[in-house]
Amino acid sequence: MSSSNSRLRTPAGPSTSNSSNSKPWVDPAALPDAPAVDVSAISGNVPDYAKQLVCNVFHSYGVGEPDQFGYAVGRATRFVDMSVEHGSERAGRMEGTTVAEVAVAKHMLNGAGMLHGGCVTYLIDNCASTPLVLLGIMSGQNGVGVTQGMNVLFHAPAPVGTILRIISSSISMGSRVMSARCEIVDKASGRVVASAFLNKMQPVPSSTSRL
């Protein structure tokens, strides 16, 4: 683990929001461990337990069960790096970054034989959420939310066999609204396949919602 770990705050678990009687919408620590995940193989400056919790959230909400949408793509996606750093622009600002990889398979293609735009959007939605989850774990907040919107740009096609490298970073993390950026590149050539901004929000727990 790198020496930059000394700069990280001691994790305090997800915040339960401003009200002591409310509960977080999702507690990553309460989710089952993601199957077939070796967190020791994931590089980065955060502890293995944080990597495991991020993988648990990704698997529970981004992969789901075998008969649910995107299961095969999600199961094939592997995280290779998770890190949290202090930004240089503003003192005390932390930034979470995750890197995942997946090979383009035939079931991910459109009729033209290229990576389907719907599959690209699926990957962005789930992978770009993970740096927010990671940042929340490491800062004692709840970084799990629901997607409000995405702005996706498609730059280049990706044929079968292309190894996609999905690089996601947090932008901002408020008590209700969070945002992240994502870039999908061809690992071999470095060519950008797609880029996006993702906006998420924290649902109000049912115990605190009002009619």
pLDDT tens sequence across 68-124: 999 999 999 999 999 999 765 555 578 999 999 999 999 999 999 999 999 999 999
Cβ neighbours around 173 below 10 Å, total: 23
pLDDT at residue number 167: 98
In the structure encoding, which two tokens stand for residue 86, read together?
Answer: 């202090």
Question: What residues form DSSP beta bridges with 94?
Answer: 86
| C-alpha span between 89 and 24 (Å, rounded) | 30
Q: What is the CATH number of domain 40-201?
A: 3.10.129.10
CA-CA-CA-CA torsion sign (26, 32, 36, 41): positive
Q: Kindly state the tokens that stand for 19.
A: 């009200």
DSSP-based three-state secondary structure for 197: strand
pLDDT score at 39: 96
Instruction: Return the residue matching tokens 């061809």.
Output: 186
pLDDT one-digit tens code per residue, 10-60: 444 444 344 444 566 788 999 999 998 999 999 999 999 999 999 999 999
- In this prediction the pTM is 0.84
Where in the chain are the domains? 40-201
Q: Please choose, from the candidates 65, 64, 63, 66, the residue with its C-alpha nearest in 3D space to the C-alpha of residue 74.
A: 63
